[in-house]
Structure 1
Amino acid sequence: MLSLRQMEALVWIAQLGTFERAASRLGTSQSAISKRINELEHTIGFPLFERSQRGSKLTPRGEEVLEVARKMLLLQDDIATIKAGRATTMAKRIRIGITELTAMTWLPRLTAAVRDNHPGVVLEPEVASGRTLYESLQSGLLDIIVCPEFIRDTNVTILHLSDVDFAWMEQPGLTGLDEVVPLQELVSYPLLLQGGRSGAGSHLSKWLLSERLVFERVRVTDSLMATVGMTVAGLGISHLPRRPFRHLLESNKLRIIETKPLLPDIPYVAILRQDHPSSFVLTLATMMQELCDFSEMI
């Protein structure tokens, strides 16, 4: 069985160069140090040192174990610090899941605010579709996610962040529709749709079903930016958030198709599990409510 005493012996042998010096530093005998290392090598199944009369040199795999040993001793120090009631330098890692739109707009503001106000917290972001993020949250792989609101479960807490204004967009001149048009006039054009695992794509699909609209051709992608690129290329029409892509509208690379009825706004939310053990996750969700801004691309 691995022990901290074995790890301590390994670290000091590596630092001082010999078993004898490590024994002196730890106030024990050389035979006791040798016993700890022998027990550790027996447990892991391979030698840690290339022993010689000139000293003890770590094997390549021994160097890997040394890094783990150092981390274990640091964790021991952190536990001792917590026990003494003092502040620990140990980083709190929060795994957040976000969709592309958040990554391209206000994620830098969030990470900067966490860094400035909570220096002991490290955010570990994952970018994926809404449904993929939700599955990772439920399985415990993520601590909190930001995505379009598309599901309600009793075991999660959902905090509203913002309603995002979406519009139909095209390459200028693709449809030739210059005035406000009934939705039915769009169904003959290819629809560029984010896939079923996308929260925004799921919202649109449900809304089209409620309006009894069926597009003749649908091209599916899981990427928001791929949808934008395909729209700019004139491969079809798409529903995109207005404000983040206004630079493409102003440069005449995209054009809004005005329709009746208008596309509904899509609510974006923060979702966390109610049984999450860290109180900071709820603090982070509150920060998200204050900082979220989907209007500006980075």
Structure 2
Amino acid sequence: MNLNLRQVEAFVQLARLGGFSRAAAQLHVSQAGLSILIRKLEDKLAMKLVERTTRSVSLTPAGHEILPMAERMLADAEAILSSSRGIVAQHSGRIALALPPMLAGTVLPEVLKRFRDDHPRVAVAFRECVNEELIGRIYARDVEFGLAFGVQASSELVCQPVLEDELAVACLATHRLARKRVVRWRDLAGEPIITHATGSIARTLTENAFMEAGLLLTPAYEATNSLTALALAAEGLGLAVVSSASTPAAMSGSLVLKVLREPLVKRHLQLVTRRGAVLSPPALAFVEVFAGCMKAARSGARL
């Protein structure tokens, strides 16, 4: 048996308002139209629900028994509609974010592909920028959030850790280090090293790790981003020190990525937002996909 929600709604409104004229006005139908809806519901249920007189309308005993169930049915229908509107809102709209060129060039393409598959109605705008610019764009509300390393929280800025990455070395598959199960910083001694430019967070961490391993860092080349460093390593110009999240880009260049140990240099990927800001459901979903893709990328550089 299929009950018509319009007929159920007509019965509930008539019971609540106690008269055909008021119920018809509430439902935006004529009194004759309301009578037809009630009669069809009674025919469907094979019972009389309403007693009509010239001056009043009252429910039959069966009508009184059916009314609470009819009201629950309408409430459930409204809950379904509200839920569906929330789901549609979650899967549509636009998000804007800022992130470093390293993440944009290595992890982001896979993230965008997966996110588009799950949220085809959400438009994504991204800005590649260093931390200073990223913070400025968040303050200016040019982006909803940022994903970055080494940003300092403040009275206006919230930085939440998403997950960790480690510094790793990228080399050709024919290089001696590609066959080692564990690669240590001291294993880089005497090798031409490709690093990030002076002043970057990755460069500072690399210099500190070299010192801790008792080595002096004298880069053969300095790159402004990981993609350039990986491209140079793919040409056999040296060993590139990059993030473990660079695995997809390294593999596309026929490189092997090994996490560097002794010391193991970790850093946190941060979700950066304005204090008090509440991320939209699509933005939260995007961050979750990003974290998943980055975790998968890092797993390829574990050895």
**Shorter-chain TM-score tier:** 0.5 to 0.7
Verify the 8 A CA contact 2:178 2:258 in the aligned structure 1: yes
Opposite residue 109 of structure 2, the aligned amino acid is M
Q: 1:259 to 1:280 in 2, by over 3 A?
A: closer
Provide closer, same or farther for how the CA distance between residues 203 and 114 of structure 1 changes in structure 2, counting only shifts above 3 A: farther
User: How many residues are matched?
Assistant: 202
Q: Of the candidates 180, 183, 186, which is equivalent to residue 184 of structure 1?
A: 186
> What residue number does 1:223 align with?
225
Change beyond 3 A, Cα 1:175–1:197? same
**Cα deviation digits, residues 71-104 of structure 1 (max 9, x gap):** xxxxxxxxxxxxxxxx99xx96532112323323
Of the candidates 94, 107, 110, which is equivalent to residue 115 of structure 2?
Answer: 110
3-state SS in 2 of match to 1:106: helix
TM-aligned CA deviation for residue 161 of structure 1: 2.0
Residue 13 of structure 1 corresponds to none
TM-superposed deviation, 1:221: 1.5
| In 2: Cα distance, 1:126 partner to 1:186 partner | 34
Does structure 2 retain, via aligned residues, the 8 Å contact 1:168–1:256? Answer: yes
Q: Give 1:288 deviation, angstroms.
A: 0.9
* Alpha-carbon distance in structure 1 between the residues aligned to 2:138 and 2:207: 24
Report the more deviating stretch, 146-155 or 203-212: 203-212
Q: Give runs of aligned pairs for residues 1-298 of structure 1, distance below 5 A.
A: 93-99=94-100, 100=104, 101-116=106-121, 122-173=123-174, 179=180, 183-196=185-198, 198-208=200-210, 213-242=215-244, 245=247, 253-256=254-257, 260-276=261-277, 279-281=278-280, 284-285=283-284, 287-289=286-288, 291-292=290-291, 293-294=293-294, 295-296=296-297
Alpha-carbon distance in structure 1 between the residues aligned to 2:280 and 2:212:
36
- The Cα shift of 1:176 comes to 6.8
Offset at residue 219 of structure 1 (A): 1.9
1:231-274 CA distance string (max 9 Å, x none): 111111122344653685699x3245675515323321211111
The answer as to whether partners of 1:248 and 1:254 remain within 8 angstroms in 2 is: yes
C-alpha RMSD of the superposition: 4.0
In structure 2, distance between residues paired with 1:184 and 1:228: 21
Cα 1:250–1:222 change in 2 (3 A) is closer
* TM-score normalised by L of structure 2: 0.52
Q: Residues of 2 paired with 1:113 and 1:177: CA distance?
A: 36
> Over alpha carbons, which structure has the higher Rg?
2
Residues 290/217 of structure 1: CA separation in 2 closer, same or farther (3 Å cut): closer
Name the CA distance, whole Å, in 1 between partners of 2:230 and 2:200.
Answer: 15
- Taking only the aligned residue pairs, the percentage that are identical comes to 9
In the TM superposition, what whole-angstrom CA distance separates every residue of 1:23-82 from its partner, at most 9, and x where no partner exists?
xxxxxxxxxxxxxxxxxxxxxxxxxxxxxxxxxxxxxxxxxxxxxxxxxxxxxxxxxxxx
In structure 1, distance between residues paired with 2:165 and 2:99: 15
Larger relative helix fraction: 2
